Amino acid sequence: MDSLYQEQILALAKRARDPAGLDSPTHEATVSNPTCGDRVHLTIRVDSDRITAASAAVRGCALCEAGAGLFVEIAPGMKISDVATLRDGLANWLAGNEANTPHPQMQAFEPVQPIRSRHKCVTLAMEAATKALG
């Protein structure tokens, strides 16, 4: 279990600890994982079909925080239509259905691959983004 909370994951988790949130979001959603109690509230600002900023408030484990931190970091500049593709790609890679991650930083979650019960922790913020932008 210690390998789950390696340095890269903890660094990503810190990025999701923004209690102030985002000023003037255009989209927002809250998604929960009833299995483990994780909850992500994501605020997103969009301009001309592209994400310009994102912020996450997470109540959950370090893996959930890290997934949210990663999204907050890579989302600016992303097209709205690419969010679901990113989420699905990450879920498929975690499940072992794809050889490569959809984004290089997602490689930090490799220790999570064999632990299926933790996949939702990692993808919860992207679920929130898909819900917010859908």
- Please check the confidence at residue 75 and state whether its pLDDT lies above 50: yes
Write out pLDDT tens, residues 26-64: 999 999 999 889 999 999 999 999 999 999 999 999 999
Best CA proximity match to 104, nearest among 17, 1, 8, 5:
8
Query: Which band of pLDDT confidence, cut at 50, 70 and 90, is reported for residue 1?
Result: very low
pLDDT at 10: 87
- Helix, strand or coil, per DSSP, at residue 38: strand
Task: Give the CATH number, domain containing residue 68.
Answer: 3.90.1010.10
State mean pLDDT over 4-28. 82
Given CA atoms 53, 84, 89, 1 in this order, what sign does their dihedral have? positive
Model pLDDT for residues 101-128, shown as the tens digit of each residue: 999 999 999 999 999 999 999 999 999 9
Q: How many domains does the chain have?
A: 1
pLDDT for res 131: 98
- What pLDDT sits at residue 19? 63
Question: Nearest-CA neighbor of 103 among 121, 122, 130?
Answer: 122
* The predicted structure's pLDDT at residue 28: 96
Whole domain around residue 97: which residue ranges? 2-133
| pLDDT at residue 2 is higher than 70 | no
Residue 4 pLDDT = 53
User: Using one digit for the tens of pLDDT, what is the confidence trace for 84-106?
Assistant: 999 999 999 999 999 999 999 99
